[in-house]
């Protein structure tokens, strides 16, 4: 079974600054995918960024980027130029690759609540 650990329950950052959210995972799988989801106060789950484990290059999406360290089983999220709208709960999630091509469940961490302040 896979586990995902987010060791920072809460974080705070000032507007326009950079913040990094940590995530580690444990798995015996060699092929898998990692995700960061954002959950604003509206409670909607929004996909922020995705990383394929077989890719060495770190994924980026505008102000969001990841630092993927496969050997260390670490997958941190960096938010640059933080904005008030980034205030949300952030969940790290793991999905194993299914050779049969079927969809697979997401295993989530416990979340990091990020507050962006003026």
Nearer to other proteins, 50 or 80 (CB): 50
CB distance 64 to 78 below 8 Å: yes
| Contact residues: other proteins, CB under 8 A | 4, 33, 42-45, 47, 50, 52, 91, 93, 95, 97, 101-106, 108-111
Q: Is 81 left (phi over 0), alpha (psi -120 to 50) or beta?
A: left
Least distance (Å) between residue 103 CB and other proteins = 4
Minimum separation from the CB atom of position 21 to other proteins (A): 14
Q: With respect to other proteins, which residue has the nearer C-beta, 15 or 98?
A: 98
Which is closer to other proteins, CB of 1 or CB of 71?
Answer: 1
User: Hey, what are 28's tokens?
Assistant: 């015996």
Cα–Cα distance for residue pair 7/10, rounded to 1 Å? 9
Measured from the CB of residue 111, what is the shortest distance to other proteins in angstroms?
6
| Cβ atoms of residues 95 and 104 within 8 Å | yes
């Amino acid at each position: 079974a896979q586990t995902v650990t987010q060791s920072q329950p809460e974080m705070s950052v000032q507007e326009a600054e950079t913040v990094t959210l940590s995530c580690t995972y444990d798995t015996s799988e060699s092929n898998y995918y990692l995700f960061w989801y954002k959950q604003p106060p509206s409670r909607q789950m929004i996909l922020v960024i995705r990383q394929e484990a077989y890719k060495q290059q770190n994924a980026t999406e505008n102000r969001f980027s990841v630092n993927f360290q496969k050997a260390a089983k670490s997958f941190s999220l960096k938010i640059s130029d933080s904005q008030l709208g980034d205030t949300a709960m952030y969940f790290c999630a793991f999905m194993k690759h299914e050779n049969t091509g079927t969809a697979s469940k997401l295993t989530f961490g416990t979340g990091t609540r990020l507050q962006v302040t003026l």
